[in-house]
Structure 1
Amino acid sequence: MSDTPADGGTADLVSHFCNPEAVAAYADGPRRFVPGLEALHRMTWLLLAERVPADARILVLGAGGGLELKAMAEAQPGWRFTGVDPSSEMLGLARRTLGKLAARVDLVEGHIDDAPEGPFDAATCLLTLHFLDAAERRRTVAEIHRRLVPGAPFVAAHSSFPQEAAERDLWLSRYAAYAVSMGADVEQTNGACEAVRRSLMTFDPATDTAILEEGGFRDVSLFFAAFTWRGWVATA
């Protein structure tokens, strides 16, 4: 998920992504708002493939839309996936996006507590954690860690950028300029920027790294940086 609900809260997030109009418009959203989205998906499965078996079980939190599921399933025909998302509408979009690949994917409506216990060989959480406040983010990361085999890789990517006022505004202006250059609606983009500006749930990269470590992960390494977005790979 990459679009930003009005206030950034979890309840607002669920209602936003249960809105059929918002879901129908979702397909182009991530590509317009996240520089290098296809490369991020490719790097994600490459990083997982370094350490998981050919028949790996992968947990995908925030799976609505199905874009990363499709990229991983196409690249790795032996992997099976459990995709978790709180929005039934977004899970429906994921099924349509996956097509025949959906045979290798179990889709679960809910949050991390609704995910199977595993253990899983790897996990991903892309464009999702920035919707959670610090306490819920720490808890969610710890619950992901608990469901992984020792040594399993975890890839997380979400909004993370400097939070000092002047720097924050500069990076948000760049976020907006990129989206508009990719064809995003100017009014929608300005609304997304304002929502992020008001939100207390975006952190600087150092804080996000610390949250992953506090959740039990080690060897946390930054592998992706694109304007207001960061991605990390870590080890359970």
Structure 2
Amino acid sequence: LPKLLRETENKDLLVVGCGTGNEIERFVYTAESWTITGVDPSPEMISQALEKFEADENVHLVEGVVSDLDEEKQYGAATLLLVLHFLEDNGQKLAMLQDISKRMMSQAPLLLLDITGNKEQIQQNLQLLRLLLPDGIDETQVAQRLRRIERELLHVSEERLAELCEEAGFEPPVRFFQSSIYMGWITRKKDIISFS
């Protein structure tokens, strides 16, 4: 992922849903010097991330959500990996994307990765995923996890994700990755945005 952002001039990165900091590590250990703000609502996750990065003055961690961050601070890039499928498409997904957009510089890139597809696509891709799993995995656990992905996670189609991005003030996203149920995109904040 750092390679996708290597041409970004402003190396001030917002990592939304940073969890325990695994994603942040990829940027910390690149040759480029990023200043990173990670935000996550889970106290346990932030606590683990703090342990990893306590000696790194370029990593700032916030327990909370994007809307808790100062809107005056403008980031040169952002990531949103495996977060949107936990939010309802009842305004929550859009609000998250708008909150990120408000805190990004014009033309700043946003990397997105999520479980994506309509109901039929998800079912077909889960069948393929089951075939790709290594032998020896407990079949009951596999069935439970696949059922959770299908029934509990709040995925949307790629078309809907593109609509949400554009409504939030981003350019149409370009897909750079797909693997069974996961898709990844890069988009940029539009020069001029207005929220209704």
Over the matched positions of the two proteins, sequence identity in percent amounts to 29
Structure 1 residues 173, 99: CA separation in 2 closer, same or farther (over 3 Å shift)? farther
1:66 corresponds to 2:21: yes
Tell whether the 8 Å contact from 1:48 to 1:154 is kept in structure 2 after alignment: no
Structure 1 residues 114, 172: CA separation in 2 closer, same or farther (over 3 Å shift)? same
- Kindly provide the amino acid, as one letter, of the partner of residue 16 in structure 2: L
Structure with greater Cα Rg: 2
Tell whether the 8 Å contact from 2:116 to 2:156 is kept in structure 1 after alignment: yes
1:94 corresponds to 2:65: no
What is the aligned partner in structure 1 of residue 192 from structure 2?
A: none
Kindly report the root-mean-square deviation, in angstroms, between the aligned alpha carbons of the 2 structures.
2.1
Distance in structure 1 (CA, Å) of the matches to 2:135 and 2:82: 18
What is the aligned partner in structure 2 of residue 232 from structure 1?
A: 185
Q: Determine which structure has the larger helix proportion and give its number.
A: 1
Gaps of 5+ in 2: 190-196
- Kindly provide the amino acid, as one letter, of the partner of residue 148 in structure 2: A
1:212 corresponds to 2:169: no
Picking from 86, 107, 112, the partner of 1:151 is 107
Greater relative contact order, per chain length (Cα 8 Å cut-off, separation 6+): 1
TM (normalized to structure 1)? 0.72
User: 1:84-115 deviations in whole A, cap 9, x for unaligned?
Assistant: 00111111222344464x43111111112122
Distance in structure 2 (CA, Å) of the matches to 1:114 and 1:190: 38
Picking from 90, 94, 97, the partner of 1:141 is 97
Gaps of 5+ in 1: 1-43
Tell whether the 8 Å contact from 2:13 to 2:75 is kept in structure 1 after alignment: yes
User: How far is 1:52 from its partner?
Assistant: 2.6
User: 1:122-171 deviations in whole A, cap 9, x for unaligned?
Assistant: 1111111111111201110011011001111111111112422xx43221
Tell whether the 8 Å contact from 1:154 to 1:233 is kept in structure 2 after alignment: yes
